[in-house]
Structure 1
Amino acid sequence: MFCCLWVLPGQAAAASASPSEAAIRIAFYELGVLYYKTSHGTHAGIDLDVIQELGKRTGLRFQPTLESRVRIWTRLANGTLDMSVSGIATPEREQFARFIPYFVTRNYVLMRSELPDSAKNPQGFLANPAYTVAVVKSFKHGSAYDRWLDQLRALGRVREAADFQMVLHLLKIGRVQAVLALPTSWVPAMKQEAMDSTLQVLDWWPKERIVHGLILSRRHIPEATAARIGAAIQSMREDGTLLAIFQRHIGPDLAESLLKY
């Protein structure tokens, strides 16, 4: 848990915070380059940079915590959390939260290289009852992948883990034959785990687009505040700040693709 309160004094803000405005309770979760612990023990990542820049531009204050993804959604739904990051909108989630898009990406399949070519497509993988896949619990993966996962779940062939590190561990030790992952997760993970030679990255549905947004509690974040946040994100997109953040964490090759939403 964090115990700090970010206050950004003396910075030019697009809209000043009211003195009576309470700090926004925001939860981060560790995943790839979105939010990660550095070798110095501090945190860094795309989501952290976006929120800190957002504070500078709006004058809003944030009270950060570190949570699991499952607990974040639970807290947002029950009204004990104000805001989170990099979430995917669904009709159910939009009942209790607003979403402000700031990047788009899609899932890829990371598969053990020794599997036969017949398994390296959705139908072929599904046809072999010995093959299982691991995913992070509560994650959405895009309509095509989620339909495929539903078929595997009906057969008891999906393993769910609390975080991506555990999902990758299950793949590494051979407990599953494939996992689903976003580039923001698998690019750094494969480098850190030195797994490039043992895995193959497959792009089964290249037209899939998964828009990720800031998640704002409808109960606790007023519509006017949500509009301020949305305007600040748009200005960050227009002046190149979002692109610079993406480039810093994921490199120039993938950075521009994250803005095509």
Structure 2
Amino acid sequence: MPAFYSSKLIRLIALSCSALCLSAELHAECSRVINVPVSATGLSVITAGEKIHGIFPDLLRRLGEKNACSFAFTSVPKARVAAMFEAGNSDMMLASIKTPRRDEFGIFFPMVSIRATLISIATSRPAISNFKDVLKQSDMHLILVRGFDYGPEYQRLIDELNKQARVSFESEPLSVARLLKLRPTSATIMAPSIFTGELQADSRVEDMLGKLRFEPLDELAWSYSGSYLSKTALTQADREKLAKMLEQAGQSGEAWRAYQKVYSPEVVKISIRPLSAQ
């Protein structure tokens, strides 16, 4: 065979092998079922007995069907979700805010930008715009979700409120909503999308919709909300495959469009943005 044709044949075989290898990589299955503990988080994650759905689980299931990956969702308290992830006992953490502590244990993939605010029953009290104002409001008790973390300044606020016996914790956002209904002078801090999502999903607190006051605080800036992949629980191959799935989902804006469909324009305007607006 002439050297010219031999060289062309070798290059053709090499290109064909490369294409086959790329195809195999793109369509490779996850090596096992991916373990995803979750807790109720507004309409982002809805837990109803053994049924788990919402924006993030539904998105993950669609991605799994396209990419030959299966996910096992289990419902646990919010604080336990974080503890399991940090201990390397779960593969993913959904509907999470990016924080320095969580970055130690996982790789973060943003889906939307989100902002937490002070949330209370609307009254004629003076406006609150920062943590200093919260501390000055001596008759205000904060009811927070154990396991929610909005950064170092948020943690320092909790420390100060603890010293004044002005903070308590609940395991889920719904419990916070029910207590806030009973104690109108109290308040909470979380993303309005999470809080109003709980109200929309539960008739016991649904009547609070339209009676709330959302106050952005200087120390609570816009941050990313998305999913973490464990640095230790997953194999490198599974982590890389899941990373590609999550990157594509974030870039597509699918989660942002889902938020727009289920939340009121008021809630979207004050607390949710597409990644492109960050």
Structure 2 length normalisation: TM-score? Answer: 0.75
- The yes-or-no answer on 1:28 pairing with 2:38 is yes
Asked if structure 2 preserves the Cα contact closer than 8 Å seen for 1:25 and 1:62, the reply is yes
Contact 1:144/1:208 (8 A) holds in 2: no
The alignment partner of 1:170 has SS state of helix
Q: Equivalences for 1:108-119 in 2 at 5 Å?
A: 108-114=117-123, 116-117=125-126
1:242 to 248, 251, 255: 255
> What corresponds to 1:4 in structure 2?
none
The structural deviation recorded for 1:34 is 0.7
Instruction: Tell which structure's C-alpha radius of gyration is larger.
Output: 2
Three-state SS of the structure 2 residue aligned to 1:187 is helix
Query: Any idea what the Cα deviations from partners look like across 1:55-82, whole Å, max 9, x if unmatched?
Result: 1343222122111111112222223222
Letter in 2 for 1:220: A
Indicate conservation of the 8 Å contact 1:34/1:47, yes or no.
yes
Whether 2:202 is the aligned partner of 1:186: answer: no
Partner residue in 1 for 2:241: 228
Aligned to 1:210: 223
- Which stretch of structure 1 is more off in the superposition, 79-88 or 115-124? 115-124
**CA–CA distance in 2 between the matches of 1:81 and 1:27?**
7
Q: In the alignment, residue 87 of structure 2 is paired with which amino acid?
A: N
Deviation of 1:41 (Å): 8.4
By how many angstroms is 1:178 displaced?
Answer: 0.7
What amino acid maps onto 1:184 in structure 2?
A: S
Deviation, structure 1 residue 240: 4.2
Shift, 1:173, TM fit: 0.6
* Alignment-derived partner of residue 12 in structure 2: none
Asked whether the equivalents of residues 97 and 224 of structure 2 are also in contact (C-alpha less than 8 Å), the reply is yes
Deviation at 1:212, TM superposition (A): 2.0
**What residue is the counterpart of 1:53 in the other structure?**
62
Q: Distance in 2 between matches of 1:165 and 1:139?
A: 14
Distance 1:207 1:173, change over 3 A: closer
How do 1:41-120 and structure 2 match up within 5 A? 42-114=51-123, 116-117=125-126
Q: CA distance change for structure 1 residues 159 and 28 in 2, over 3 Å: closer, same or farther?
A: same
Identify if the C-alpha distance between structure 1 residues 169 and 47 changes in structure 2 by more than 3 Å, giving closer, same or farther.
same
Mapped contact 1:110–1:202 kept (Cα < 8 A):
yes
Gaps of 5+ in 2: 1-23
Q: Percent identity?
A: 21
Number of positions where the alignment pairs a residue of Structure 1 with one of Structure 2 = 248
Structure 1 portions without partners, runs of 5+: 1-12
Cα drift, residue 47 of structure 1: 0.9
Distance in structure 2 (CA, Å) of the matches to 1:207 and 1:162 = 22
8 Å CA contact retained: 2:106, 2:230: yes
Residue number in structure 2 paired with 1:3? none
The change in CA–CA distance for 1:243 and 1:199 in structure 2 (over 3 A counts) is closer
Q: For the structure 1 residues 158 and 235, does the alpha-carbon distance in structure 2 shift closer, same or farther, using more than 3 Å as the test?
A: same
One-letter code of the match for 1:28?
A: V
Kindly indicate whether the alpha-carbon contact (under 8 Å) linking 2:39 and 2:47 is maintained by their aligned counterparts in 1: no
CA distance in 1 between partners of 2:211 and 2:193 (Å) = 19
Q: Map of 1:117-196 to 2, 5 A cutoff?
A: 117=126, 122-174=131-183, 177-191=186-200, 193-196=206-209
Residue 171 of structure 1: how far off its partner (Å) = 1.1
Cα separation, 1, equivalents of 2:144 and 2:64: 33
Instruction: Report deviation, 1:198.
Output: 4.2
Counterpart of 1:194 in 2: which secondary structure?
helix
